[in-house]
């Protein structure tokens, strides 16, 4: 049984979730732009609910919704919300993305997602882990199609994907009228290849700002940039 993950201001139980707390989600939750002071936020593919919880800590948004299809993960996400200080602002829907997109009437000021993105070759025998981790459970095109319908005209969409998928993802997004305005490319150590891309999209074409982040100087010695980004969340930073 996995131990709860203790952040500075909330705790996340993740023993029933196929995907445990990882660096990708924490980076995205810390990096996502709140400059426009969104009043409504949606986390697509919530898992444990960590992204929505980070948004609750960082923002004053009155409505923070999450969407999760897996039964066990949904139940654990709801419990994590209820056990936080922000339960009155957090709500998790148990539905598939296409179903949710058809039925929901409001649009969101900010949408965030840490979508499944592993390929067929890496499939395991664990169905829940496959659903959480593999792209065929939420193809990028389907994700972007829904985002284009659920995002308000002046809203922002923030996502974390493999660096290798960045160009194709941006092309998919452009077909839905979404344009990148901010990119953070992430590598583990200075000598490591770039592994992840955090991308901010909007419906407005803007000057694209791209930067890089290195997580570690060496094993368990974190860079100043990574520490500055995540220190409000991790206990040991």
pLDDT score of 139 more than 90: no
pLDDT-derived band at 130, boundaries 50, 70, 90: low
- Residue 84 DSSP label: S
CATH architecture for the domain at 5-230: 3-Layer(aba) Sandwich (3.40)
pLDDT-derived band at 120, boundaries 50, 70, 90: very low
What does the CA dihedral 105, 111, 112, 118 come to, rounded to 10 degrees? 60
Residues 69/94, Cβ–Cβ less than 8 Å = yes
pLDDT digits (tens, 9 = 90+) for 186-219: 999 999 999 999 999 999 999 999 999 999 999 8
Q: Mark residue 111 as left, alpha or beta (left: phi above 0; alpha: psi -120 to 50; beta: remaining).
A: beta
- Terminal Cα distance for the chain, rounded: 25
- State whether the Cα torsion 224-226-231-235 is positive or negative: negative
User: In this predicted structure, which of 63-72, 138-147, 189-198 has the lowest mean pLDDT?
Assistant: 138-147
Residues with Cβ within 8 Å of residue 79, at least 6 apart in sequence:
13
Global pTM value: 0.91
Domain regions of the chain by residue span: 5-230
Q: How high is the mean pLDDT of the chain? A: 91
């Amino acid at each position: 049984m996995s131990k709860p993950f203790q952040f500075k201001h909330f705790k996340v139980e993740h023993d029933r979730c196929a995907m445990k707390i990882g660096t990708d989600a924490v980076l995205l939750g810390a990096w996502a732009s709140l400059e426009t002071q969104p009043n409504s936020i949606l986390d697509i593919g919530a898992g444990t609910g960590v992204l929505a919880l980070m948004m609750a800590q960082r923002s004053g948004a009155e409505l923070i919704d999450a969407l999760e299809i897996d039964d066990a993960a949904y139940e654990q996400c709801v419990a994590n919300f209820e056990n936080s200080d922000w339960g009155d602002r957090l709500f998790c829907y148990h539905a598939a993305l296409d179903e949710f997109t058809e039925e929901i009437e409001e649009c969101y000021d900010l949408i965030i997602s840490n979508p499944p993105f592993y390929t067929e070759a890496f499939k395991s025998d664990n169905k829940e882990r496959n659903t959480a981790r593999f792209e065929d459970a939420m193809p990028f095109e389907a994700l972007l199609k829904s985002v284009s319908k659920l995002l308000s005209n002046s809203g922002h969409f923030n996502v974390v994907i493999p660096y290798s998928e960045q160009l194709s993802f941006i092309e998919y997004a452009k077909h839905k009228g979404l344009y990148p305005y901010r990119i953070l490319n992430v590598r583990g150590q200075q000598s490591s290849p770039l592994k992840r891309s955090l991308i901010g999209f909007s419906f407005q074409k803007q000057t694209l700002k791209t930067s890089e982040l290195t997580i570690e100087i060496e094993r368990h010695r974190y860079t100043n940039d990574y520490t500055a980004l995540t220190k409000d969340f991790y206990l040991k930073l």
